Amino acid sequence: MHTTQHDTVVVLDFGAQYSQLIARRVREQGVYSLIVPYTISAQELRKMAPVGIIFSGGPASVSTEDSPRPDAGIYGLGIPVLGICYGLQVMSVMNGGTVRRPDAREYGFAHLHLNHFTGKTSRLLAGIPEGSQLWMSHGDSVVDLPTGFVTTGSTPNCPVTVAENEARRLYGVQFHPEVVHSTDGTAVLRNFVMDICGAKADWSMESFIATEVERIRSVVGDRKVLCGLSGGVDSSVAAVLIHKAIGDQLVCVFVNNGMLRKNEAQNVVDLFGKHFNMRLEYVDAETAFLDALKGIAEPEAKRKIIGKMFVDVFYDAARSLGDISFLAQGTLYPDVIESRSPSGGPSATIKSHHNVGGLPDDLKWELLEPLKELFKDEVRQLGMELGLAEELVNRHPFPGPGLGVRCIGEVTKERLDTLREVDAIFVEEIRRAGLYGDIWQALACLLPVKSVGVQGDERTYREVCSLRAVTSQDAMTADWYRFPPEVLQTTASRICNEVAGVNRVLYDITSKPPGTIEWE
Ligand SMILES: Nc1ncnc2c1ncn2[C@@H]1O[C@H](COP(=O)(O)OP(=O)(O)OP(=O)(O)O)[C@@H](O)[C@H]1O
Ligand SMILES: O=c1[nH]c(=O)c2[nH+]cn([C@@H]3O[C@H](COP(=O)(O)O)[C@@H](O)[C@H]3O)c2[nH]1
Ligand SMILES: NC(=O)CC[C@H](N)C(=O)O
Ligand SMILES: [Mg+2]
């Protein structure tokens, strides 16, 4: 379990949609926060010595037999606890209160009524105005609070919206302070974290660099690290951070898998070779990857082959690099959290994200993942702090399997070349319109479909491409980007004019869910 010198707020995850958001909101206050499964014992928590504990919401109902319960010892640790939604409900029933499922459920907006009570002021609601907009999502409600608790806020449908037991340092809210639709939610969390828990705001990327550099040095010692470098944000930031710690004990391997964007290979080699002073091995494995993918159209099969090829190429490269002990990756916190569900149960595999290969179980190196407790926006901040160019730091994410999962159907060199041109025009037009920064990710796919067109009075029968641009916070959900029509118009006509082989352009207006961001 992670221990840190920073004041820490621990979020117990009861399976909420928003656990990550809670941790983010706390970190935005400059206070370190991490998420643990709700099954953690009071003793383990005591060892972590957090300044505060937050119970997340969750899909279960406390009235069911097997609903998740935290260790009851947590209430006696003397550490302030804030329960959110399910967190409030479970804290109430475990301390002698009652929760019921009334007829009127509450999903969406509500307005807070402050219950002023004699002689005391609510610490949780300090500075929050009467009528403040709240966002609710619950079927159950607390109807009787345990002894010692008072209700400091309510809504017409929910008498116990905010509950506090000052003496035992137990607090709860039925609404979701972590979502932006709760207008004063951040202020409520700040009251909890800063005032009630008395946390020091000492979490910054600057402090992170110092601690992490030390940690990497002590873990790695005099051994060697291989970092798969893609030129994307995560692996670049990871590489620069590790390089800062261990210098030339780090070797970066950049693989041209034949599925990179136009000019990408050259750009990455130039940028890292010239500016970063790191050891960079460039491996041209285009032929090997494309040979391995010959005749394969099924998306998961493609992903698995690409993943395996990556690891093979790394092993191969390592032969001439001396004794490698670690494989470094740019794994982020959401990757870690998503891969473990609170109940420990399996969740559906939507697609095998390759993260260097859907790594084999018997990987012969240890993993070094210095970003695994950071969110993407923190990684970007860290990159800036480490002196990476803004243009690199703010790049759109690009998946490891690259254009391979955007060439729908079989992947061939010819189709990849076509797609590279389409993709380059799309990104160029987005940049020209000044929209790159507004869009979370933009991509083009080549479809395994031909359509009839008329170009220069001649009949054409050519391939179809689709363009997709999305807005998102963390890639878990996404919405399609509303382009000014002129941008789509220019892009579409340039594609049909300049890319031989394509005579039709579609724009994808599917949100996630139901669509994923990539097509495969
Ligand atoms: N062409 C490549 N050569 C070497 N390693 C790669 C390549 N593509 C991906 N990887 C490895 O796979 C990991 C996962 O890729 P992913 O695309 O998630 O991250 P990234 O490229 O570092 O950042 P971003 O999400 O911003 O694109 C990378 O961190 C890197 O270690
Ligand atoms: O490194 C990666 N390896 C992969 O195999 C992979 N597949 C998808 N992505 C990226 O992840 C985000 C979510 O993608 P989906 O909505 O398509 O699942 C989007 O940003 C995708 O581009 C990948 N990144
Ligand atoms: N968002 C939540 O935490 C919901 C809690 C509980 N499942 C309810 O419906 O009341
Ligand atoms: Mg990438």
Interval 39-93: pLDDT, tens: 999 999 999 999 999 999 999 999 999 999 999 999 999 999 999 999 999 999 9
324-328: strand order across its sheet: 279-284, 250-256, 224-228, 324-328, 366-368
Interval 291-341: pLDDT, tens: 999 999 999 999 999 989 999 999 999 999 989 999 999 988 877 766 655
Integer Cα distance of 401 and 291 in angstroms = 15
Is the same domain home to 240 and 384?
A: yes
We report the CATH number of the domain holding residue 452 as 3.30.300.10
Integer Cα distance of 3 and 50 in angstroms = 10
pLDDT of residue 424: 98
User: Does 34 fall in a domain?
Assistant: yes
Distance from residue 445's CA to the centre of ligand 4 (Å): 17
DSSP string, 114-183: E---TT---STTTTPPTT-EEEEEES-EEEEPPTT-EEEEEETTEEEEEEEETTTTEEEESS-TTSTTST
Q: Is the CB of 302 under 6 A from ligand 2?
A: no
Ligand 2 closest atom vs CA 405: 7
What's phi and psi for 229, nearest 5 deg? -110, 125
User: Does 520 fall in a domain?
Assistant: no
Residue 140 neighbours by CB under 8 Å, 6+ apart: 61, 62, 63, 89, 99, 100, 101
What's phi and psi for 140, nearest 5 deg? -85, 155
Last residue of a domain, one of 145, 177, 196: 196
Is the same domain home to 411 and 386?
A: no
pLDDT of residue 1: 43
Smallest CA-to-CA distance from 202 within 45, 324, 32, 348 is with 32
Is the same domain home to 58 and 181?
A: yes
Distance from residue 443's CA to the centre of ligand 4 (Å): 13
pLDDT of residue 353: 66
Is the same domain home to 190 and 221?
A: no
Range of the domain at 185: 8-196
pLDDT of residue 343: 42
Smallest CA-to-CA distance from 328 within 223, 250, 388, 221 is with 250
Is the same domain home to 220 and 183?
A: no
pLDDT of residue 377: 86
Q: Which residues are annotated as a binding site?
A: 230-236
Is the same domain home to 354 and 441?
A: no
Run of H or E residues at 446 = strand 441-455
User: Does 153 fall in a domain?
Assistant: yes
User: Does 33 fall in a domain?
Assistant: yes
User: Does 31 fall in a domain?
Assistant: yes
Last residue of a domain, one of 346, 372, 393: 393
Residues with pLDDT less than 70, the chain: 1-4, 117-120, 337-350, 353-358
Last residue of a domain, one of 393, 416, 446: 393
Cβ count near 444 (within 10 Å): 25
Is the same domain home to 126 and 144?
A: yes
One-letter amino acid at 122 equals S
Residue 413 neighbours by CB under 8 Å, 6+ apart: 258, 286, 290
Smallest CA-to-CA distance from 318 within 255, 402, 368, 266 is with 255
- Binning the chain into helix, strand and coil, the percentages to the nearest 5 are 35, 25, 40
User: Does 433 fall in a domain?
Assistant: yes
Is the same domain home to 211 and 352?
A: yes
User: Does 94 fall in a domain?
Assistant: yes
Nearest CA to ligand 3 atom 4: 138
Is 28 a catalytic site residue?
Answer: no
Is the same domain home to 159 and 262?
A: no
We report the CATH number of the domain holding residue 363 as 3.40.50.620
- 162-196 b/e (C-beta count within 10 Å ≥ 16 → b): bbbbeebbbbbbbbbbbbeebbbbbbbbbbbbbeb
Is 178 a catalytic site residue?
Answer: yes
Nearest CA to ligand 2 atom 10: 399
Cβ count near 448 (within 10 Å): 13
Complex-level ipTM: 0.89
Residues within a 6 A CB radius of ligand 1 = 228-230, 232-235, 253-255, 257, 329-330, 355-356, 397-400
Q: Is the CB of 84 under 6 A from ligand 3?
A: no
Is the same domain home to 118 and 226?
A: no
Name the CA dihedral angle for 453, 457, 458, 459, rounded to a multiple of 10 degrees: 30
pLDDT of residue 298: 97
Is the same domain home to 342 and 422?
A: no
What's phi and psi for 280, nearest 5 deg? -125, 120
Q: Is the CB of 261 under 6 A from ligand 2?
A: no
pLDDT of residue 334: 75
Which of 230, 233, 332 maximizes ligand 1 atoms within 8 Å of its Cβ, making it the mutation to test the pocket? 230
Distance from residue 234's CA to the centre of ligand 4 (Å): 7
We report the CATH number of the domain holding residue 95 as 3.40.50.880
User: CA 219 → CA 57, 326, 370, distances in Å?
Assistant: 36, 10, 11
User: Does 513 fall in a domain?
Assistant: no
Integer Cα distance of 3 and 510 in angstroms = 42
Is the same domain home to 360 and 494?
A: no
Count of structural domains, the chain: 3
Distance from residue 405's CA to the centre of ligand 2 (Å): 10
This prediction has a pTM of: 0.82
